[in-house]
Structure 1
Amino acid sequence: MAAEGNASQLVGIVTLLGAAVVAVPLFKRIGLGSVLGYLAAGLAIGPYGLGLVTDAQTIIHVAELGVVMFLFVIGLEMNPLHLWNLRGQIFGLGSMQVGLCALLLTGVGMAFGFPWQVSFVSGAGFVLTSTAIVMQVLAERGDILAPRGQRIVSILLFEDLLIVPLLAVVAFLAPADAALAPSSSLWQRIGIAALSLGALVAAGLWLLNPMFRVLARAKAREVMTAAALLVVLGAALLMELGGLSMAMGAFVAGVLLSESTFRHQLEADIEPFRGLLLGLFFLGVGMALNLDVVARNWQLVTAGVVALMVAKALCIYVVARLTRSDHAEAVDRAILMAQGGEFAFVLFTEALKLQVMSPEVNASMTAIVVLSMAITPLVVVLHKRFRRADAVRLDGVEAPRDLQGNVLIIGFGRVGQIATQGPLAKGAQLSIIDNDPDVIRAAEPYGFKVYYGDGARADVLHAAGAHRARAIVVCVNDKDAATRIVENARRECPQVKLIVRAFDREHALELVRSDADHVVRETFESALQMGRQAVLALGATEDEADALTEQVRSRDAERFALETAGAAFAGRALVLGNIEYIEPPRHDKKPAAANPAAQGASEA
């Protein structure tokens, strides 16, 4: 019997993992993102899909630890001073958005004919944005530490702080004969919450670092991982006992350890658990979508999803604009935060226990929240695909006008800045263009006059003086743009020498076919130098290392010539010593393998 029970549990685990492994890569491949993949997989295998896994609520409850760990990692990125600097955003921006949205959504509920008490609880629950979805999207975009991301994180933190007050309000709204009314007073619950928070801060300040120092001396990696999990789960448990959000406890613990010498080790230990549990959370949300309730009340559920999401998005947009965010950021925030969140389930469950909500309303509101969470990743993808490109700020940036330099540099990033040094030492007159205003402004204090322009456009090349230049050095970090620049420059300025940065072998071949004069693969010379140093480390003399390096370079040019079909084209490639090639399919590779260093070049 025990073996059968274990096998049944194992089947459930395998089903969950298999659904994630199949759905997430598929959805990412078609551009819909990992969150939507998890939600779709959960819906497919859940009790209202194929019925392979039935206990969605238990999975969600366990997988909420993924959200907890996510907030711990975010906390590690914020030291206490940085968090203190965000206090205006947390309490100012957060309270403004939550307050106005709660009022507006309460009005929406009353417009649907519900009593004001039910409307307020429903609206307040929907105000609490899904931390899991928003954080996952911000992490995938790399926006968490950007200013726009920090404003969203501040609002989410304020919403987490509202759990205790909102639960207290639900208790206040309960009928007088509610059997499950809480026995403790509001002030008692606030005192317990404050005591829990104080205990966590004290432990973070005086206990955690000494504990990790002792464990580090033991040099037991698995114990360090166990300690990291202990800190996260212990902080979450302490906040849970105090009536606060588990995620808030993990975040505070992360902030307290943000300046610890062990923070990077902690982040590395937590990361695998965080990603897996967060994915499991999204699977659980997809499984929890009750299609029977949606089918029975489809008009109410559909209208509720649309009305609540639109109203919340409009309110968020207005608040963002009132707090001086630009239009693009306001729209992005409104779309990203327009859904309900996982804490709404907690609020609705408490309202059901205290008879503030009927079971039918609770089921409908839960379905509305789950649907809003499922729709959000799709709306984010559609917004990203169809939005207009953000306007480029060109303050203090000039466009090129009939420049006179005899060397034109296109792209002034890492490669372009170094490539200018040789011509400058020779006394050349440079003209430099770049299409990134931030790069242009950053170069000005160092005495470089860089003009704004897209080198892939023929008119910009003409304005930049390409027809007068003796050489054009293309240093852009974009394969397609580099190829277009070469094609346009060769058509407009046939006499100019084109020296182009190539991304890889295939790109180098493409550039030569576009009639570039000299192509330098961006990693080739640095890789040759690394190989030369390795040869020296093996005991070779300087002359032997130079000879082997030159042999690798020569064989590279020969293979590139073999790749090109046609004597004239091959003859051109032979002089391109810095080109990587695409090796032609040949059965006889003995010449290439005659020298180990040469063989390494064929694999580079």
Structure 2
Amino acid sequence: MTLHELAILLAALALAAPLARWLGIAAVLGYLVAGVMLGPFGAGALFSEQDAEQVLHFAEFGVVLLLFLIGLELRPKRLWAMRQAVFGLGSAQVVLTAIALGFIGMLFFDTQWQPALFAGAALALSSTAFALQVMEENGELQTRHGRLGFSVLLFQDIAAIPLIALAPYFAVSAMQQAPHIDYLTFAKGLATIAAVVFVGRYALDFLLRLVALSKVKEAMTAAALLTVVGVTLIMEAVGLSASLGAFIAGALLAESSYRHELEADIAPFEGLLLGIFFTAIGMSLNLKLLVSEPVLIALLTVSLIAVKSVILFGLGRWQGLEAGPARRLAFALSQGGEFAFVLLSVGRAAGVLGTRPSEILAVVVTLSMAMTPLLLMLERVLFKKQAPQRAFDPIPENDGHVVIAGFGRFGQITARVLRAKGIPFTALDISAEQIEFVKRFGNKAFFGDVSRPEVLEAAQIGKARAFVLAIDDVEASMRAAEIVKTRYPHVPVYARARDRMHAMRLLDLGVAELRRETFLASLDLTRLLLLGLGYSQRVAERTVNTFRDHDERRLNEDYKHTSDADKLIERARSSQAMLEKLFQEDEVEEAALARSEATPREAKAKSRAGAA
């Protein structure tokens, strides 16, 4: 690629995303349209087919960086906690979709089941880069359906590796011979993964610490990129996926104290290369096939999107999602993915697919990508109205204050006490409506997303005496807590936990001072209920206090078994029996106490009677 072509490509990137946002569509779709216009089949034809292929090959490194960043966000404990969604929901989606699309392939191309099933499996894989980018732009990545979508995408990325390796097996009927199993290559692959895990576990963090001691920012950026490039080269050398290697490297550094610095250094490169990647996909779109086979391509594209959407919607409902989130999940993952291009190429080389079917399916995958943002936009328009975004409020300078994250029913009580005591505080909330509402009552809060580091920095969190975490959204609460505990360990965190699992996740970050939002209120109401049922004040208070002490001990003990659902269920049952035993012991002690108090009263009454 010449410098002139590079300048054109960068200009297209600089214009495509802002124009797409201005038109109210996803930036990814803007990149695809720009690629079509620049490509060999577009109006400009500034890039040839060879140029488009070179750009696509170069920009695939953006997908590698994306998976590295995904690995950084996925701590081993979190991966273990997600195992049911990743391997249960993910495998169900891939298997069901592959079978359904394989059957459709047999009808359209009149082929045997082996190549049809292989093509169905290739199309069953959604675009990790595309789907995550779209969900992130729409603020859905941290919702429950966003997390389920991430789990499915993660399984798909893992499933792509054996599909690539097993491609020759799908060509058995065509080649009339069983493929040779290369056990040596298989063993080398496993050994390489084990070596990367071992070295990364014990060496990467140490090497990054040495680089960080130099306090040269450029050196840290270079080290971050070298980590990804190095693992990529190692994986490719033994015939494994570079994306898998990058994901493993990121997961190994997920517990590193330099995780946030790595993410900040790599994110700009990842965003730029992903933009180039989607532009290159647009360039490679063969418009000649759209002219020669319009009906076939249209039917295949609609079938692909419809089948994946129906299956994903059903699986989402099976996981307990409401209709709206399940629909968003289905549309977000309804497209074909970047691994489809790889698998179609591998399948053609292995003799599984012919040239014409593989080229047609490549166009179908590209069109399905282009349809995804449009489907999501149409869904948003038809089913809900989205409030316009506003800029974050400027926050005045402060020192020795308290930062309150979340100014709802919980945070406002803390703020009222602090204001009455003359303690300065800065209150932040993500809801513009809530900010305007509290202003009517003389309260002051600032509009800002505390799960973003720059907002916390603007609130001078480093100078704060304490950080009160009162956010209603669990995932935003966890991101904010992680930022403060990692970057500002000297600032004490007082957190509101939405429920028991949220409390355990906060404990996992080292947040010790926390209260479950409805726990104490529920206990107080229970105390009033016992009084209303005829129990004495002392019995009611003792019962509630016994339960509180028991439940707090159980919370700390259950924390050790957070990832073991069966163990938690077993402990819940045994805990109930223990609680009943404690209450019985309390009743015995209360009866004994009542008798001991009654004896002096009876003696005194007899004495008075004798005197009379």
Q: TM-score range by the shorter chain?
A: 0.5 to 0.7
Is the contact between residue 71 and residue 251 of structure 2 (CA under 8 Å) also seen in structure 1?
Answer: yes
Name the counterpart of 2:541: none
- Match of 2:141, SS state, is coil
The 2-side partners of 1:419 and 1:25 are apart by 40
Name the counterpart of 2:393: none
1:229 to 209, 222, 225: 225
Structure 1 residue 370, shift from structure 2 partner = 0.7
2:12 to 15, 19, 25: 19
Is the contact between residue 352 and residue 362 of structure 1 (CA under 8 Å) also seen in structure 2?
Answer: yes
Structure 1 residue 324, shift from structure 2 partner = 2.6
Name the counterpart of 2:102: 106
Structure 1 stretch displaced more, 159-168 or 81-90:
159-168
Could you give the per-residue CA deviations for residues 507-538 of structure 1, whole angstroms, max 9, x where no partner exists? xxxxxxxxxxxxxxxxxxx99xx9xxxxxxxx
Name the counterpart of 2:45: 51
One-letter code aligned to 1:364: I
Name the counterpart of 1:144: 141
One-letter code aligned to 2:331: I
Is the contact between residue 344 and residue 353 of structure 2 (CA under 8 Å) also seen in structure 1?
Answer: yes
1:232-381 pair list within 5 angstroms: 232-381=228-377
One-letter code aligned to 1:119: A
Name the counterpart of 1:514: none
Matched, 1:85 2:78: no
Name the counterpart of 1:567: none
The 1-side partners of 2:273 and 2:137 are apart by 16
One-letter code aligned to 1:84: W
Unaligned runs of 5+ residues in structure 2 are 387-406, 422-427, 448-458, 464-612
The 1-side partners of 2:355 and 2:191 are apart by 35
Is the contact between residue 65 and residue 277 of structure 1 (CA under 8 Å) also seen in structure 2?
Answer: yes
Name the counterpart of 2:118: 121
Is the contact between residue 35 and residue 282 of structure 1 (CA under 8 Å) also seen in structure 2?
Answer: yes
Is the contact between residue 95 and residue 121 of structure 2 (CA under 8 Å) also seen in structure 1?
Answer: no
Is the contact between residue 161 and residue 244 of structure 1 (CA under 8 Å) also seen in structure 2?
Answer: no
Structure 1 stretch displaced more, 334-343 or 348-357:
348-357
- Match of 1:210, SS state, is helix
Name the counterpart of 2:186: 190
One-letter code aligned to 1:79: R
Is the contact between residue 169 and residue 179 of structure 2 (CA under 8 Å) also seen in structure 1?
Answer: no
Could you give the per-residue CA deviations for residues 446-500 of structure 1, whole angstroms, max 9, x where no partner exists? xxxxxxxxxxxxxxxxxxxxxxxxxxxxx997667888999xxxxxxxxxx9747
Question: TM-score scaled to structure 2, two decimals?
Answer: 0.63
The 2-side partners of 1:312 and 1:379 are apart by 13
Is the contact between residue 69 and residue 232 of structure 1 (CA under 8 Å) also seen in structure 2?
Answer: yes
Residues 188/157 of structure 1: CA separation in 2 closer, same or farther (3 Å cut): farther
Residues 182/138 of structure 1: CA separation in 2 closer, same or farther (3 Å cut): farther
Is the contact between residue 64 and residue 242 of structure 2 (CA under 8 Å) also seen in structure 1?
Answer: yes
1:147-226 pair list within 5 angstroms: 147-174=144-171, 185=181, 187-226=183-222
Structure 1 residue 15, shift from structure 2 partner = 0.8
Could you give the per-residue CA deviations for residues 6-26 of structure 1, whole angstroms, max 9, x where no partner exists? xx7011111111111112101
The 2-side partners of 1:498 and 1:268 are apart by 40
Structure 1 residue 277, shift from structure 2 partner = 0.4
Is the contact between residue 178 and residue 354 of structure 1 (CA under 8 Å) also seen in structure 2?
Answer: no
1:460-539 pair list within 5 angstroms: 499=442
Is the contact between residue 108 and residue 308 of structure 1 (CA under 8 Å) also seen in structure 2?
Answer: no
Structure 1 residue 352, shift from structure 2 partner = 1.3
The 2-side partners of 1:206 and 1:503 are apart by 43
1:33 to 23, 26, 36: 26
Unaligned runs of 5+ residues in structure 1 are 1-7, 391-410, 426-474, 487-496, 505-525, 531-604
Is the contact between residue 43 and residue 287 of structure 1 (CA under 8 Å) also seen in structure 2?
Answer: yes
- Match of 1:129, SS state, is coil
Residues 252/351 of structure 1: CA separation in 2 closer, same or farther (3 Å cut): same
Structure 1 stretch displaced more, 300-309 or 164-173:
164-173
One-letter code aligned to 1:102: A
Higher helix share: 2
Could you give the per-residue CA deviations for residues 373-400 of structure 1, whole angstroms, max 9, x where no partner exists? 111122122222222479xxxxxxxxxx
Residues 10/476 of structure 1: CA separation in 2 closer, same or farther (3 Å cut): closer
Identity of aligned residues (%): 37
- Match of 2:2, SS state, is helix
Could you give the per-residue CA deviations for residues 148-204 of structure 1, whole angstroms, max 9, x where no partner exists? 32222221121112223222442012257869x998615444323322211110111
- Match of 1:112, SS state, is helix
Is the contact between residue 161 and residue 245 of structure 1 (CA under 8 Å) also seen in structure 2?
Answer: no
The 2-side partners of 1:184 and 1:110 are apart by 27
1:407-426 pair list within 5 angstroms: 412=408, 416-417=412-413, 420-421=416-417
Could you give the per-residue CA deviations for residues 204-262 of structure 1, whole angstroms, max 9, x where no partner exists? 11211121122223333322222111111222233333443322211111111111121
Could you give the per-residue CA deviations for residues 543-572 of structure 1, whole angstroms, max 9, x where no partner exists? xxxxxxxxxxxxxxxxxxxxxxxxxxxxxx
Is the contact between residue 75 and residue 254 of structure 2 (CA under 8 Å) also seen in structure 1?
Answer: yes
One-letter code aligned to 1:378: L
The 1-side partners of 2:161 and 2:433 are apart by 54
One-letter code aligned to 1:70: L
The 2-side partners of 1:152 and 1:485 are apart by 36
Residues 118/476 of structure 1: CA separation in 2 closer, same or farther (3 Å cut): closer
The 2-side partners of 1:291 and 1:250 are apart by 34
Could you give the per-residue CA deviations for residues 241-292 of structure 1, whole angstroms, max 9, x where no partner exists? 3443322211111111111121122112111111110111110111111101
Name the counterpart of 2:517: none
Question: TM-score scaled to structure 1, two decimals?
Answer: 0.64
The 1-side partners of 2:208 and 2:85 are apart by 33
Could you give the per-residue CA deviations for residues 92-147 of structure 1, whole angstroms, max 9, x where no partner exists? 11111111111111111123243123321221111011011011123223443444
The 2-side partners of 1:476 and 1:281 are apart by 36
Name the counterpart of 1:72: 68
Is the contact between residue 85 and residue 148 of structure 2 (CA under 8 Å) also seen in structure 1?
Answer: yes
Structure 1 residue 416, shift from structure 2 partner = 4.3
Residues 193/142 of structure 1: CA separation in 2 closer, same or farther (3 Å cut): farther
Runs of 4+ with deviation above 6 angstroms: 422-425, 475-486
Is the contact between residue 104 and residue 311 of structure 1 (CA under 8 Å) also seen in structure 2?
Answer: yes
Matched, 1:387 2:380: no
The 2-side partners of 1:476 and 1:268 are apart by 24
